[in-house]
Structure 1
Amino acid sequence: MWTLVLCLALGIGYIAYDSGTALARRDVVRLEDQLAKLEAENTGLKADIEAALELEKAIEKQHGRKVPPGKAKELVNLVRERLAAGVSLERLAFVIGAAQNEDRCDDEASTKRFIVQTQLGEGANDTVSFANNRIVVTASGTAAIDASGNPEAWFNPALPVAIQFAVAGGATSDASGILPLHPSVVLGGSEYRFNLVAGARGFINVTGHRCDYP
Structure 2
Amino acid sequence: MGLGRYDYEHRYRRRFWSGFGKLAFFALILLGSGLFAYQMGIEQLKGRDVALREEVAQLSRQKAELELLAGQMQHAARAAENRAHELEARLAREVPTGPLATLTQLVRKRLDDGLDAQRLGFVIENAQKPRSCQPAESKRFVLSTPLVKSGSRSASFANGAVTVTGEGESARNAQGQPEAWYDPTEPVTIRITAHGGEEEVATGLLPLHHSMVVDQTEHRFTVAAGSRSFVEVTADRCPFP
For normalisation by structure 1, the TM-score amounts to 0.52
Q: Equivalent residues in 2 for 1:97-116 (5 A)?
A: 101-116=128-143
8 A Cα contact 1:137 1:164, kept in partner: yes
Matched, 1:126 2:153: yes
Say if 1:115 and 1:123, in contact at 8 Å, map to a contact too: no
Could you tell me which runs of 5 or more consecutive residues in structure 1 were left unpaired when the two chains were aligned: 1-99
Instruction: Determine which structure has the larger helix proportion and give its number.
Output: 2
Which residue pairs with 2:190 in the alignment? 163
Q: Which runs of 4+ in 1 moved over 4 A?
A: none
Q: How far does the alpha carbon of each residue in 1:134-176 deviate from its partner, in whole angstroms, 9 at most, with x for none?
A: 2111010000000011101100000000000111111101101
> What are the ranges of 5 or more consecutive residues in structure 2 without an aligned counterpart?
1-126
Give the secondary-structure state (helix, strand or coil) at the position aligned to 1:109: strand
Q: 1:132, CA displacement in angstroms?
A: 1.3
In structure 2, the partner of 1:208 is: 235
Q: Deviations over 1:27-66 (max 9, x none)?
A: xxxxxxxxxxxxxxxxxxxxxxxxxxxxxxxxxxxxxxxx
Q: Which residue of 1 aligns with 2:23?
A: none
The 5 Å alignment of 1:51-200 reads 101-200=128-227
Q: Cα deviation per residue 1:161-208 (whole Å; 9 max; x = unaligned)?
A: 000011111110110100001101101111011111000101000000
% of aligned pairs identical?
41
Shift of 1:106: 2.5
Alignment root-mean-square deviation, CA: 1.5
Task: State whether residues 189 and 204 of structure 2, in contact with CA within 8 Å, keep that contact through their aligned partners in structure 1.
Answer: yes
Amino acid at match of 2:233: V
Q: Kindly state the Cα deviation for residue 107 of structure 1 after the two structures are TM-superposed.
A: 5.0
In the alignment, residue 119 of structure 1 is paired with which amino acid?
P
Could you tell me how far apart the structure 2 residues matched to 1:101 and 1:125 are? 35
Report the Cα distance in structure 2 between the residues aligned to 1:107 and 1:122, rounded to whole angstroms: 32
C-alpha spacing 1:188/1:103, structure 2 compared with 1 (3 Å): farther
Residue correspondences, number: 115
